[in-house]
Structure formats: C-alpha cells, structure tokens
C-alpha cells in the first residue's frame, strides 16, 4: 500500500478516506512507514509526532475536506501547543522550548481534518535559501543527496519530494515556499498578504505568509480554500474571489498578456543558462496556448536602491526576534545561542536608527506602489525564473565566524527574484516546468497582481495539463 498511496495527492487521499476505502489510522500508519524509511536519507522531519498522530486519527476528527490526511508543520513560526518550537535556533533547542499556543494556521488545518504528524527542518530563523541549520543538520534534496533542498521550507519540500506525504506546510518571507519548491520539483504558491492568518504571534502586514508545497496544483488550491479564512484580530484580509480557488482549475484562462523576465536583476549575480533557456521555452509554450508574450517587466525591479531596503527590515526583524526568544526562555540570547550570520544580522539591526528604519519602510511602500502600476497598466502576469540557478551543493552557502556573509551571493542567487514580491505582498507561484542539463528541477515563477491567486491557479492548471509533471518524481519517491 505504501508505494500505491505515495502517488496520490492530498485531495485523492481525502477521497479515499471519505468513501471508506481507507481509514485515517491506515493512512497515518502508511505515512509513518514511509517517513521512517525515507527520512534518514534526507533529514526532513526533526520532530516526529507519530503517537499523537495515531491517537488523533483514531479519535473523533472534524469532518473537514481533508479528514484523516497527514500534515507536517514547518518548525518556524506556526507554533503547535505542546510541541517543540525551535526555528532552527540552537538556544531554543538547548532549552527544549515547547510552544504554549496553536498558531491560527494550525487551528485551520485541524478544522479541515488534517492530522498533525510532526515538524520539519528549517534554516535558523528561516534566514537562508538552503536548509542547513547547525542545530539540526542539513536537509538533503531527494533529487540529489549532495545538494540542498532549498530554504527556508526545505524540510517540507524534501518530505514531499521524497514521497513521505503529498503536501506539507511551508512559509514564505523572501521566497521560502517558492525556492524549495523550485529546487525539489514541486508546486509552491505564495499567497497574497493577508490571505492566510498569521496570528496570534505574527502580523499579516509583514513579509511572511503561510501555505504549502505540493505535487499538484489542485492540492495547492484546495488547501488554500480550506485555510484562507480570517481570524479575529487579523491586520490584513485579502479580497476573495467569487468562487472557491479549486473551481478555477477546470477552465483555461482567457488569453493573457504576460511579461517575460529571463535575466538577473542584481549586479554580480548571473543567471544559469539552463534557467534562462527554460523561461524562454515556457514563454513559447504559453504563446502556443494563445497568450500574448511581451518582453517587459516592472522597471522598479531594476532599482537596486529600492530592492536593498529589504535588508534593513530584515536585520531589524532578526534583532527583535532574538529579544522575543529571550523572553520565552527567561534569559537574553548570546552569540553562542545562534549562528554567526544570525548574530551579525541582529547586531546590524540593533544599530539601525529609528529614522533609518522609517526610511526603509517608506522605500518599501514606494516600491510596492511602483510595482502595482505595472500590473495595472502593462500585463496580467509576470513570467520569471524562481531561482537564478538550480540547487546548490550542501555547504556551498555557508559563512564562517570570521566572515558570516562570505557566501551570501549564493543565497542571493535564489532569493533575488522571489523576495521583491514579499515586499509587495503579491501572490506568486513556482511550477516544476523544467530540468537542468544535469537533471535537477528548475522552477518557473508566475507573479500576479495583489489578490489574484485565482488567475495564477487557473494558468497553473492549464500548464499542468499542457506540460504535465506528475510522473517527474525524485529518485527517492516510491
């Protein structure tokens, strides 16, 4: 049964449970068997919760759309009451910190019938484009075990790409859903700001959003339908379409005007030729499907001063987070509790003046408005690479105590074309539409106007039919 069920997506597994062909307990036991076989090879799951999952599956599960389907939570910001909550931070691991509250997204998953089954690896505080925390060790890519699985949702992506389960929770503050999806050959949708509640410990107005990585577009759409509901106190609520997101997959979109960006936007960070060629190939396919392709992209993406404003906000957020962690464990964190790059960013954030921080926020606002103008006047969607190169070798992006930012250019090769859309809050999706000459997955990204996940999912469904990727599974996948 293990190999057979590994090929089902979450919607398919839910249907098997709903029709009585499979019980929740059978499904969880089968998933656990796959995890126990595959996880030692990739180090995706760092906090298994198997007995808790078995008990939940045997109990009175909510009659939601995903009743009995397993779910893994990323060990970053979506806390689970009673479960470890370490965020890749050595200091939190050493104290054995346990969460005392469920994040709203966990509540939403439980209401939908998902069975919480464990927590996945993440780089420290989600700060890297590859998942190699000192606290828990590297997560390896199921397509090539010598390479990283992406970050910061690398554990989630590796678990799905290896065939442990069909979809897993992921979050995206600078590309952290889309980057690992691209590296591991998965679908990764970053929803609009305010589409999914970030409370009670995070604010919707920030750069981070929650969703999943998955094999199929219908899982991404159906799970979005099940979780995109506002909670009391949410600071931003994205506008909803007039029908469920899943319904948009059945019809091809109208002919769209799609701008193409097949180059790097950052000096000194080149694009891999295989990636640039993949973008052009997808553009050709879109033309054959009846869409208008234009060689155009937002001019604001080439304004490096505006793009750089993200760095000040990033550093300040790291400093504030370390202060919060200190409150949780009852003492201030020191340099011994975190990795060198994390400490260096926090120190930079603490030196940031109030006027400089306000100026960075203003720059982000200007950037957001300039970007929105392009979607309002020039095109329906932007087509671009998700990452500028395929997955890196393990250790390739690591810094040193003497130079914490020694290999930051590696991370920039992955986040350069993802992070801008966290600043703007726009939805973006990475689709597994290509492979490199070495057989590594290449993700192709589409970006929509704010609130237009419906259009992204509709086009993704069309491409899934025209360029099917269902059989392109990693060598580890059963």
- Measuring CA to CA, which residue among 235, 153, 233 is closest to residue 193? 235
- Residue 383 · residue 283 · CB < 8 Å: yes
Can you read off the two tokens belonging to residue 441?
A: 């997955």
Cα gap 168→159, rounded to integer Å: 8
Site of tokens 């076989």 = 37
Catalytic residue among 171, 176, 297, 474: 176
Cα gap 392→404, rounded to integer Å: 18
Q: Based on the residue annotation, tell me whether 74 is a catalytic residue of this protein.
A: yes
Cα gap 398→340, rounded to integer Å: 10
Q: What are phi and psi of 444, to 5 degrees?
A: -110, 130
Catalytic residue among 152, 171, 309, 315: 152
C-alpha distances out from residue 58 to 3, 167, 243, Å? 23, 21, 34
Site of tokens 């694009």 = 271
Catalytic residue among 74, 93, 110, 190: 74
Other CB atoms within a 10 A radius of the CB of residue 296 amount to: 15
Helix (H, G, I), strand (E, B) or coil at 84: strand
Q: Based on the residue annotation, tell me whether 176 is a catalytic residue of this protein.
A: yes
Q: Residue 75 has what DSSP assignment?
A: S
| Cα first-last separation, the chain | 11
Q: How far is CA 422 from the centre of its chain?
A: 11
Q: Based on the residue annotation, tell me whether 192 is a catalytic residue of this protein.
A: no
Q: Which helix (H) or strand (E) holds 322?
A: helix 304-329
- Active-site amino acid positions: 74, 152, 176
């Amino acid at each position: 049964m293990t190999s057979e069920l590994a090929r089902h997506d979450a919607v398919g597994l839910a249907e098997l449970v709903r029709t009585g062909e499979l019980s929740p307990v059978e499904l969880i036991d089968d998933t656990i068997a796959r995890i126990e076989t595959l996880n030692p090879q990739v180090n995706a799951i760092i906090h298994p919760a198997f007995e808790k999952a078995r008990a939940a599956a045997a109990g009175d599960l909510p009659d939601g759309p995903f009743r009995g389907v397993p779910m893994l939570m990323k060990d970053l910001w979506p806390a689970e009451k009673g479960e470890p909550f370490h965020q890749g931070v050595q200091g939190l691991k050493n104290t054995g910190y346990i969460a005392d509250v469920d994040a709203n997204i966990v509540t939403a998953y439980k209401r939908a019938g998902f069975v919480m089954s464990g927590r996945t690896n993440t780089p420290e505080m989600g700060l890297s484009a590859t998942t190699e925390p000192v606290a828990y060790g590297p997560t390896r890519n199921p397509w090539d075990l010598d390479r990283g699985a992406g970050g910061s949702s690398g554990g989630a992506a590796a678990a799905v790409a290896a065939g442990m389960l069909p979809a897993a929770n992921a979050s995206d503050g600078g590309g952290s859903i889309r980057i690992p999806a691209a590296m591991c050959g998965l679908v990764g949708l970053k929803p609009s700001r305010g589409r999914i509640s970030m409370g009670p410990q995070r604010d919707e107005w920030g750069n981070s959003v929650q969703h999943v990585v998955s094999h199929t577009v219908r899982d991404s759409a159906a799970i979005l339908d099940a979780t995109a509901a506002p909670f009391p106190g949410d600071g931003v609520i994205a506008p909803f379409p007039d029908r469920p997101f899943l319904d948009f997959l059945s019809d091809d979109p109208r002919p769209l005007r799609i701008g193409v960006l097949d180059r790097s936007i950052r000096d000194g960070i080149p694009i891999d030729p295989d990636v640039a060629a993949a973008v052009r190939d997808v553009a050709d396919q879109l033309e054959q499907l009846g869409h208008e392709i234009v060689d155009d992209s937002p001019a604001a993406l080439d304004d490096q001063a505006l793009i750089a404003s993200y760095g000040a906000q990033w550093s300040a957020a790291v400093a504030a987070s370390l202060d919060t962690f200190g409150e949780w464990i009852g003492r201030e964190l020191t340099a011994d509790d975190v990795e060198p790059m994390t400490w260096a960013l926090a120190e930079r954030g603490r030196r940031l003046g109030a006027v400089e921080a306000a100026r960075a926020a203003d720059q982000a606002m200007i950037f957001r408005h300039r970007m929105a103008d392009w979607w309002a006047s020039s095109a329906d969607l932007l087509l671009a690479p998700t990452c500028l190169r395929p997955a890196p070798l393990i250790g390739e992006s690591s810094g040193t105590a003497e130079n914490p930012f020694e290999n930051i250019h590696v991370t920039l090769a992955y986040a350069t074309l993802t992070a801008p859309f966290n600043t703007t809050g726009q939805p973006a999706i990475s689709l597994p539409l290509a492979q490199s000459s070495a057989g590594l997955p290449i993700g192709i990204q589409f970006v929509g106007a704010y609130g237009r996940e419906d259009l992204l999912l509709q086009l993704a469904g069309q491409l899934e039919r025209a360029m099917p990727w269902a059989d392109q599974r990693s060598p580890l996948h059963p």
